Structure 1
Amino acid sequence: MPEIPEVTRRLLLGGALAGGAAAAGLGTAQAAVARNRPDGPADVSPRRAPGRKSMINVPFDEHRTVRVGVIGLGNRGSGMTEGWSAVPGCTVTAVCDIRADRARRVADRLASQGRPRPTEYGGSDDAYTRMLRREDVDLVYIATPWEFHHRQGGDALRAGKHALVELPVATGLEELWDLVDTSERTRRHLMLAENCSYGRNELAMLRMAHDGLFGDLTNGHGGYLHDLRELLFSDTYYTDAWRRRWHTRSTASLYPMHGLAPIAAAMDVNRGDRLTTLRATATEPRGLADYRERFVPRSHPSWKETYVNGDLVTCLIDTAKGRTIRAEHDVSSPRPYSRINSLAGSRGIFEDYAGTSSTGGRIYVEPDHSGHTWRDFDAYRKEFDHWLWTKIGDDAENNGGHGGMDYVLQWRTVQLMRAGLVPDIDVYDAAVWCSPIPLSAQSLAAGGRPVRIPDFTRGAWVNRRPGLDTRPSEMPPVP
């Protein structure tokens, strides 16, 4: 991956806010909001190019073996590379990082584990393009800093590869639309590597919602609340401090997907409902500066930085069916970890991360419960456990990080490709789940006014179709 360029406000806000808006900056954001607000044009989704077709319900071609190329070998990429090599019927054929020593270390580690040694690429910011020319790469997994995801994901599609991109797939509206259009043009899938969508509680919640346990769904609450202050100021964890630097660039919800995606899936977003408007609020930026004052030496380069992003950024999102989703982002405050993961309807509510049971969740549903007293989630998770977890849960806990959901994501991706099935998470899901990044910036730049959320499906959201709630299926035998 290349050295990190300065990310302009124009890039963060959508690349985007093009088409006659004023110069980049606050004026540009306000001009974009004017075009994108609820009383603006009814359609904020450009038409599909003539002759081009949707990628909805398009299956993968069957692959005897899924051959993976990895771009980005920092903490996330190197760990996930070992996960790919552990999935039956999958092999890592190439690894790439601008720092060639990282590629060498990962290749050495796989070889020491008895895996085929992948070919190494590195040493320049375009090394990954040489890897994309390989014939023996079917799926490109991208785990570089956020600002490179759009370009590298698009290049993978144009090279004829499918792409699984870490969060977010892009940070701007024009970039998100470009990935949708490129996927449709190349007939290759681009998927968001949203591991939390494969969490055990999240998938059980999904099944409960779709079985009607909560009645008519009315609202959900998700978030990414993770005290990253120590890691953000580490000189080694985020190379070149790339993640901390995002907090100096704009006020926006920088990482809403972990909390939003499971709630959106339970509400059948893009599969019978859609996100329509978003309005954002932000607290003052206090946490990072306070932590630096107390714990970071004055000689540290971070003292040249000014933090502008609010500690807690909240997006209030409306859907076409009248539901509401609250998505929160806070990595700058002292607090225990939580993704919130709460879903409510006319007959009950589930709240995750409540600490009332061994599974961490609590529940209250009628007619099972009465007396306004929370009940343990354990029995419900056992009853509604998703087939992926009952099938490979033990392997997941032994082979994957984040409680096993990393491995479930990888196993399922390989299974879908080997069996020739339709992706659980497609480019339209990826685009809408990542759109709160630029949309929150637009809303906040206009004082919290609501902005329209584009329909990336171009009208196909009205059709019910499977997503993460698919029926059980088998991994094809390994040749």
Structure 2
Amino acid sequence: METNRRDFLKKTGLGLLASTPLSVYAQTPDELQAIAEQAQRTSPQVFNMSGYAAPKLDIVRVGIIGIGNRGIGAVERLNKLEGVSIKALCDLRRERVNLAKSKIDPNGHKPELYSGSTDVWKKLAERTDLDLVYILTPWAYHTPMAVFAMNHGKHVCVEVPAAKTLDECWQLVETSERTKKHCMMVENCCYDFTELLNLNLARHGFFGEIAHCEAAYIHNLQELVFSKNHFYQMWELNEMSQRKGNLYPTHGLGPVCQVLNINRGDQMDYLTSMSSNDFVLGKMAKELAANDDFYKPYANKSFNGNMNTSTIRTKKGKTIMVQYDVSSPRPYSRIQLISGTKAVALKYPEPARYSTGHEWMNEKEVKELETKYMPPIVKKMGEIAKNVGGHGGMDFLMDWRTIDCLRNGLPLDQDVYDAALWSSVGPLSAWSVAHRSSSIDVPDFTGGSWQTNKPVDISMTKGGTTQAKV
């Protein structure tokens, strides 16, 4: 049976590539074959991490790996939280760990510093005086570091996406279940105030039965991806020349998955995906290379298309559209459309709009809705989070909530199944794009427990005791 299935995949899947240059798809035949096989993989659940509450920690001892664009912000945010001890900082560049240390010295943190080699982070993860390892590195390091840290007894917070391949997604799930250590992908957009309001509205039945959601990451990064200084060693531009599809699905996808109770009452069933050609990045690379030898290695590369659109159908017949475009001159948008049988919400373009009929609510009606349904976490910490900053406060709200859950022995809002599933859209979309938008099954990383797992609760009925030092 297994041999026949593999032969079938080779004949029906890879056969579609026979007349098409592989540069169009970036992934090799072997990589595409691996995606197809991993999409059919099942794994019995060793321990259900959904709703799992680890023993509470009075003080959360943290080690941080990666002090780049996101890392320095995480250091500053954690520095403002009660019950956090920053014990270790790590980056390849010594000047970055020195900078991070200078920002937390006034609060009494005395971290050990690690830098200078590509595997020095292992020494940090091996320490016996850490509870949490926070990973903010380029994407390729996320899963190896997270798995290593969990295997050495640490909870993990890892930047998005948590994994690049389906095999890495399974590694995260199996390691978290075996070690009973949290693996939370720090999807900050789940803590945007509008997204939290919409989640609370869904919980109170405002939308009725939700039938369809739309999500996106549309963000013009043309200048940043070609900057010599922004992404260290041009790592994001390299990603965009090596892979195709939706490389960064989780910002828009995460919040709508929570609204739809994905992994907790419903599950993704299958996905289809389509990408445009690249009409921007390749041209920019050639123009820059003509005047600067630094860019010559990129002049003849094939880049990911401008727009990727993926559609997902769930086991209960709901649909999700998720888009990815970081190279078109468009205004920023995550769309955040929630469409139900009683009402609809649309966040972008801001301000968010709501409707229960043919017209959008007026400003007064929206304000009344916000007053009635804004969740307690925003009412308690919203103004503090805004003052600290970080994407309007959602970054700080996310870190505050995570630390508070760890200190009070509460389940985290995002578990390893969310990290794996939301990240899996990347490789699944690549396979579908390479196969003329054929559908591909979405793996069930929960081992079937999605049917009984309880919906995520960010209502803060428990916890909320951690103070902010601002």
- Same topology, TM > 0.5: yes
Q: CA deviation at 1:468?
A: 4.1
Q: Distance in 1 between matches of 2:129 and 2:51?
A: 25
Change (3 A) 1:141 1:310: same
1:370-385 matched pairs, under 5 angstroms: 370-373=357-360, 375-376=362-363, 377-385=366-374
Per-residue deviation, residues 438-458 of structure 1 (Å, max 9, x unmatched): 101111111110000000000
Q: Could you tell me whether the CA contact under 8 Å between 2:65 and 2:90 is conserved in 1?
A: yes
Aligned AA for 1:437?
Answer: G
Q: In the TM superposition, what is the alpha-carbon distance from 1:34 to its structure 2 partner?
A: 5.7
Match of 1:342 in 2: 337
The DSSP-based 3-state class of the residue aligned with 2:433 is: helix
Q: Secondary structure at the match of 1:454?
A: coil
Corresponding residue to 2:400 among 411, 420, 434: 411
CA RMSD of aligned residues (A): 2.2
| Percent identical | 35
1:269 corresponds to 2:262? yes
- 1:349 and 1:188 map into 2 onto residues whose CA distance is 37
Question: Residues 172-211 of structure 1 correspond to what in structure 2 (within 5 A)?
Answer: 172-211=165-204
Give 1:12's aligned residue: none
Is 1:45 aligned with 2:42? yes
Distance verdict in 2 for CA 1:420–1:282, change over 3 Å: same
1:403-431 CA deviation, whole Å, 9 max, x = no partner?
00000110001100100011110001111
Within the alignment, does 1:362 sit opposite 2:362 as a pair? no
With 447-456 and 392-401 compared, the bigger mean Cα shift is at: 392-401
Deviations along 1:290-330, one digit per CA (max 9) or x if unpaired, are 44456676314333221331111111011011010001111
Alignment partner, residue 14 of structure 1 = none
Secondary structure at 1:303 match in 2: helix
Instruction: Report runs of 4+ in structure 1 exceeding 6 Å deviation.
Output: 21-24
Measure the CA separation in 1 of the matches of 2:453 and 2:371. 27
For residue 30 of structure 1, report the CA deviation from its aligned partner. Answer: 5.2
For residue 302 of structure 1, the aligned residue among 278, 292, 295 is: 295
Instruction: Tell me, in whole angstroms, the C-alpha distance in 2 between the residues paired with 1:33 and 1:117.
Output: 44
Q: Cα gap change, 1:372/1:400 in structure 2, threshold over 3 Å: closer, same or farther?
A: closer
Within 5 A, what are the aligned runs for 1:436-475?
A: 436-475=425-464
How big is the shift at 1:135?
2.5
Is the 8 Å Cα contact of residues 150 and 169 (structure 1) preserved in structure 2? yes
Structure 2 contact 36–431 (Cα < 8 Å) conserved: no
Aligned equivalent of 2:5: none
Q: Which one has a larger percent helix, Structure 1 or Structure 2? A: 2
* DSSP 3-state at the match of 1:94: strand
**What is the aligned counterpart of 1:28 among 27, 30, 42?**
30
Structure 1 residues without counterparts, runs of 5 or longer: 1-16, 38-42
Contact 1:362 1:374 (C-alpha < 8 Å) held by counterparts: yes
Correspondence for 1:3: none
Contact conserved, 1:84 with 1:90, CA < 8 A, in 2?
yes
Within 5 Å, give how 1:55-454 maps onto structure 2. 55-111=49-105, 113-292=106-285, 298-305=291-298, 306-355=301-350, 360-365=351-356, 370-373=357-360, 375-376=362-363, 377-454=366-443
Q: Supply the distance in 2 between the matched residues of 1:300 and 1:461 (Cα, whole angstroms).
A: 52
One-letter identity of the residue aligned with 2:91: D
On the 8 A contact 2:271/2:440 being kept in 1, the answer is: yes
Q: SS at the partner of 1:86?
A: coil
Give secondary structure in 1 for the equivalent of 2:329.
coil
Report the 3-state secondary structure (helix = DSSP H, G, I; strand = E; otherwise coil) of the residue aligned with 1:163. Answer: strand
Find the residue that maps to 2:446 and give its secondary structure: coil
- Normalization by structure 1: what TM-score? 0.88
Unaligned runs of 5+ in 2: 1-8, 15-21
Counting matched residue pairs gives 443
